[in-house]
Amino acid sequence: MIIDTWGALSYKPAFEAAAQGRSSQLPGPLGSSWLPDADRRRIAAYTVLAAYDSNQAATLLDEDSDDRREYGDASLVVDQTLSHLLGETQQIVVNDGRQDAVAQNHEALLRDWAQAEHLRMRMQHAERTAVLLGDTVYLLAWSRAKGRPVLRTFDPGFYFPVLSDGTLDADAYPDRVHLAWEVPADPVTGGKGTLRRVTYELGPIEGGGGRLYPWSRQPSNITCYLTDAEWDLDQVDRAGDIDALSPARARFRSNADGEVLNRLDLQLDFIPLVHIPNTVPGADHYGQSSLLSVAQLLDDLAAADTDSQRASATTGSPIIGLSGARLPVDRRTGNPLPVEVEPGMVWPLGDNGQLSTVDTSAQLAELRAYVGALRDRLSVVTRLPASVLGTVSPSEVPSGYALQLSFGPLDAMVRSMRLVREAKYPLLLKMVQRLYQLGGALPPGDNPRATMAFGAYLPTDQATALDLAARGVQAGVLSLETAVRLLVEAGFPIKDATLEVERLRRSSATAA
């Protein structure tokens, strides 16, 4: 028995076969020689979880799955978790809202960058991947053509960090990271299947000496090297994994400026990549999917839905037994023809003829009750209240206080998930500012701390929040900035808290 982040899927034979490197029905590079043994369980888990999200988990069972019913419960859990994780708004805040000229300049630049790079849309995609699979990856690069950092999101199945001693502290980062994936052969052009690997590696500056980076006061002898290469799959060295591929067989790619990407010096002392786990990572560096703890429950729910569908078929078109009836006969063979039940049909019965039906409505009612019990269990284990999953009508809630209490587990879960992001998004925005310094758009020196503020995710009493904010400012126990932030968290349509504070102060000055 292996107890790790993905152990909850060990009951699936397809997962175990892929994790052990044996033949598997799972798609992807699980049987490839370049895939490290330590990553097979992770990649196999990603594939299984993706099957749940696309209503294809039944294909992983050892039974006939052609008529297996899957009604999107897994996708609902992921989407509702994502919605509450991100909240109603996502806003870049510099220096916790304490504004000076420098902070205002950096905040305006970061917000313009976020709009140009469609950051909120990319966050939706990336964070949904994290909730579903357990991890997601952001990658930054400076674009000379656009004059700004460009942002990309990567599937965590392409992410292969080289971890020292097989472990990594939550606050540390690897010195070498690979992004790798297979490109299938093209039968039209005759192109071979290839393996592409993009590598970021920290190392000493070639030629020795130090370098003074715009964001640092002390020279550094460390820089980041970029290598982008590809290998033919039939020539990949079977003796080595992704970290030990032979450079002699590689074809190195070039960037838009014609530079060969073979240990290209990026003039950075950090790897411009941010890995975001869905939960607080353990010793294995990776997060946990929101579906892992309910995988068996989702299987049981699909099985119950399938049984319920089968029972509804026999209830709607019941099994009928006839005796003493004159049934139609095939004139050629003399055999009775199949009897079809249709509205208005009449069967002549003899003196002792009988007609009986099999009533399965009681079994159907029991199955529906069982499905309801499983949905209640799903709500408990995922910490998503029934009102969030849409299985309870708001009119059925006894009181607003009872509804608020039901959000307790959800509130704890979202706070824990946001705690992980509190360290990751400031790191991403710090890298963006440093890339702007490298491109000359920001002056050298220390950068203010920027973070991503997520909005409210629970229903709130806006009237109470407004009264609290007004009374707090009037009594002098709340600042105007704190009061506006309370209103933002309560769901008021305030897009920019800083700008709203400035408007309020201008209004007060005008009135005075």
pLDDT, tens digit (0-9, with 9 covering 90-100), for 60-109: 876 556 678 899 999 999 999 999 999 888 989 998 666 688 888 999 99
How many whole angstroms separate alpha carbon 127 and alpha carbon 63?
33
Q: Kindly give, in sequence order, each residue whose CB lies less than 8 Å from that of residue 79, ignoring residues fewer than 6 positions away.
A: 128
- Strand locations in 328-382, DSSP E? 349-358
Average the pLDDT over 258-268 and give the result: 94
- Among candidate residues 235, 225, 316, 309, the one with its CA nearest the CA of residue 262: 225
Q: Which ranges of 155-294 does DSSP label H, i.e. alpha helix? A: none
Q: Provide the CB-side half-sphere exposure for 168 (13 A, CA).
A: 19
Higher-confidence residue: 509 or 211? 211
How many whole angstroms separate alpha carbon 425 and alpha carbon 453?
9
Q: What is the pTM of this model?
A: 0.84
Q: Which of 292-301, 342-351, 359-368 has the lowest mean pLDDT?
A: 342-351
How many whole angstroms separate alpha carbon 125 and alpha carbon 112?
20
Contact 165, 175 (CB under 8 A): no
Q: Which of 269-273, 285-289, 352-356, 504-508 has the lowest mean pLDDT?
A: 352-356
How many whole angstroms separate alpha carbon 446 and alpha carbon 250?
40
The pLDDT value recorded for residue 315 is 74
Higher-confidence residue: 276 or 57? 276
Long-range contacts of 192-196 (CB under 8 A, 24+ apart): 192/232, 192/233, 192/234, 193/232, 193/233, 193/234, 194/230, 194/231, 194/232, 194/233, 195/32, 195/34, 195/230, 195/231, 195/232, 195/233, 195/236, 195/245, 196/228, 196/229, 196/230
What's the mean pLDDT when you consider all of the chain? 86
